[in-house]
A and B are shown apart, each in its own frame.
Chain A
Amino acid sequence: MKFSDFICRDAIRANMAALDKEGSIREMVQALVEAKRVNAADFESIVKAILKREELGSTGIGRGVAVPHTKHPSVDRLIGTVSVSPAGVDFASLDGETVNLFFLLVSPPDRPGDHLRALENISRQLRDDTFCHLLKQAKLPQDITLLLDEADNHQFGS
């Protein structure tokens, strides 16, 4: 699976303002609403579902990266977005570090395989330190899009 298969380009953001977990999730889901990938009517329900998943254990996986996610019946296929926080967000990560790079995923309830393949792709690409570093340094959504495209074309890692 490639980034272009699930990342909604119009929802990519490089200037996250929120400094806490709930605020950051709200910003990312709002970006999906603005990109018309999520209905405004489903906004609160999706935010709550993602926060509920975080209660089971933070998706802050270390190295300044988090992958907040949920299943939700309002989507008919896996969608996701990428956000960069210049300041860093307190996300209760595994390693205690703040998070600068987010991949948020919303998947249909009955498609665990797609979610797993998206996680596989994200984690495989992030193993490349250069890719990870450049993403965190991105100043514009276009920078992020370009990096994701390069990753899709095997410019980074394996």
Chain B
Amino acid sequence: MSFYDNKYNFLKYKNFFMGISLIFFTFSIIFFFTKGLNLGVDFKGGTVIEMKFEEMNKSEDIRKSLLKINLGDVKVKEFGSNKEFLATIEQKGKNNDFVSSIKNHLEKDLNKKVDFRRVEVVGSKISKELTRDGIYSVLLALILMLIYIWFRFEWQFSLGSIIALVHDVIITIGAFSLIGYEFNLSIVAAILTIVGYSMNDTVIIYDRIREFLKKDDQKDLDELINDSINSTLSRTLKTSGTTLLALISIYFFGGEILKGFSFALIWGILIGTYSSIFVASPILIYFKVKRNWEEVVDTSP
């Protein structure tokens, strides 16, 4: 008997897990509104400069130096090594020589040569547009999924999967709010991928539920759903496993730029796998799915 062949009773504690999800969900929303997100320049506007010095440096010195010229709020952190730094600057500069003037000032003030390896300047108009597009794209993805599942299954499945997706999205945002990782465009991309992935997981369990419903319309629904989860469990865990292996590789070896992105995906895969088993499936019981999946046979003479 291997680990996968055991039969687990996932639905025995369904109220407990629903409760946990609800708590996470609520706290995520509370965090979002009280602590907020550490928005990147994509959504807040401003300037980001990734710089590299020839010798080691301290982020505090760079920050102090940058504060001498009028740049608004300035944050500097080490980015990979003690020669590389990421500066986030509130100002976006009206003049076109804004960035080169910062570079000149730094080199003169610190008396060290510096290379600006990456510069991003986002105006307030663009950041507003990106925020709008980001929200729209997540909503659009959710709506399209809702329609697709509705079309392929039944409304109960459609609603259940969307609740699970919203659960995943909100809790991911909550995690970002709590940890304070920068929230930028690539995180939105990651969230959309999570939506796709979590849906993938959910669909596979739903597919099995539907199959069992067709086979047997007398069996207790709790038991039937539990059987479905169990018979797809090894697939669910193995796929999550391989995907996580690939993502962990990006997290550790893909460089600083992909760190937040791969973190979001890793978190999303975990939460997505959890939600397919503990949210999307049990919720069908509350919605009372249709039991009679037999095709209507015309018996009239």
Q: Does B associate with A?
A: no
